[in-house]
Structure 1
Amino acid sequence: MTLDRLRPLADRLLGPWVTAADRVGLTPDWVSVIAFFAAIAAGLAFSLATTAGYLAGALLVFANGWLDLVDGALAREQGIESSGGDLLDHVLDRYADIAILAGLAAGIGRYGLGLAAVTGVLMTSYLGTQIQAVGLGREYGGLLGRADRLALVGITGALAALHSGSIVADVGIVGALLALFAVVGHLTALQRFWGAWSDL
């Protein structure tokens, strides 16, 4: 399962967004920063563990994911792709992942589970960029890429909003997602490592 295979389709849908961002004078770096603040807001919303908080968090996570596609497309459109922009994007994405998962964990009071999820997610992302650093190209594949994680977080936020009247339901839905990220995140990291090791 990986939504990264749908990148060509997403690229075709980005046109109006890229045009709008360009017309209002946004740079790719500013789009990355806006996406980051959407993730921070999502984490804060999730930490409330309320119907409104889960719903707002879900929408903000989807906004973060979409803007994360817009910044790269805008850089290509403006002809200003750079190593600095790529570095900024990756750093902000990692902090965004931490903020979102920390907010989910705080909302249900499961900090140990949140830590396990964060380390799984960070190791998945680290392996993707480390594989590129050793000259094998960027790796987006595996069991759960970032696009998959954001989609699952958004869906879980929407489901938690429907069940927010029951704390048991909240802990079950959100806790299950964090456990999934903890287990599958590390498995994805190992999968990427093994694939890269085999190619060396």
Structure 2
Amino acid sequence: MTLDSLRPYISGALRPFVNGFDRAGMTPNGVSVVAFAMALAAAGAFYLGGVAEQWWYAVAALAVLANGWLDVVDGALARKQAVASQAGDLLDHVLDRYADVVIIAGLAAGIDAYPLGFAAVSGVLLTSYLGTQAQAVGLDRVYGGLVGRADRLALIGLVGLLVVPLSGTYGGHGLVWWLLAFLAAVGHLTALQRFYYAWTALE
């Protein structure tokens, strides 16, 4: 079970954020843009963590977790304001994909692991593509599989927080390398899992 499946159960925790954004006059699209800004900040901090001071990884981790949280808040805000639309859903998904790309690019650039970064980002994009492609052929949107977006962001955030305390034992760059390798392997496996689910559902 992925963290994406827990979305319906966290409405209570979302409420203060949703109400706060609503009182501030924010739109769901505005929250989506802020979430993407957090992804850009995370990418820059991940890069700096690799080429400069490792404490930047902790900054990046917090930005990643903020991106993931705001990605849930924008949908809840749209429902509260009764402005949910296909255009808003499209914007949200496009920004999510760009966020995935820049976050992984920042991780890979910081440790000069571009081929591994390419493998990771292609797996992430294919996972997301297969989830929405199932909907395009008449099935429900697929969030399941080994690792969903919420799981990825939680793992990336956790690794970012662990780089500094574990750097003396494992090496910060080594930990990030293994994170990228995991994202690459599990991303492609999750994409294939979603493909298999959709294929068997259509037969």
TM range (shorter): over 0.9
Given the alignment of the two structures, is residue 95 of structure 1 paired with residue 98 of structure 2, yes or no? Answer: yes
Aligned-partner Cα distance in 2 for 1:161–1:38: 21
Instruction: Specify every segment of 5 or more residues in structure 1 that has no aligned partner in the other structure, as ranges.
Output: none
Identify the residue that residue 16 of structure 2 maps to in structure 1: 16
Given the alignment of the two structures, is residue 190 of structure 1 paired with residue 192 of structure 2, yes or no? Answer: yes
TM-score normalised by the chain length of structure 1 = 0.96
Identify the residue that residue 31 of structure 2 maps to in structure 1: 31
Instruction: Specify every segment of 5 or more residues in structure 2 that has no aligned partner in the other structure, as ranges.
Output: none
CA-CA distance at 1:165 after TM superposition: 6.1
Kindly report which structure 2 residues correspond to 1:169-184, keeping only aligned pairs within 5 A, or say none.
169-184=171-186
Aligned-partner Cα distance in 2 for 1:199–1:48: 45
Aligned-partner Cα distance in 1 for 2:33–2:181: 29
Equivalent AA in structure 2 for residue 157 of structure 1? G
Given the alignment of the two structures, is residue 142 of structure 1 paired with residue 159 of structure 2, yes or no? Answer: no
Aligned-partner Cα distance in 1 for 2:30–2:63: 17
Contact 1:143 1:188 in 2 (8 A): yes
Structure 1 runs of 4+ aligned residues shifted over 4 Å read none
TM-score normalised by the chain length of structure 2 = 0.95
**Aligned CA-pair RMSD:** 1.2
Aligned-partner Cα distance in 2 for 1:60–1:90: 18
Identify the residue that residue 54 of structure 2 maps to in structure 1: 51
CA-CA distance at 1:164 after TM superposition: 4.6
Equivalent AA in structure 2 for residue 151 of structure 1? A
Contact 2:3 2:150 in 1 (8 A): yes
Equivalent AA in structure 2 for residue 129 of structure 1? T
Aligned residues: 199
1:61-90 CA-to-partner distances (Å, cap 9, x unmatched) read: 000000000000000000000000000000
Aligned-partner Cα distance in 2 for 1:171–1:52: 13
1:138-194 CA-to-partner distances (Å, cap 9, x unmatched) read: 11000000000000000000111324568x612221111100110110010000001
Q: Percent identity?
A: 62
Aligned-partner Cα distance in 1 for 2:168–2:56: 13
Contact 1:51 1:162 in 2 (8 A): no
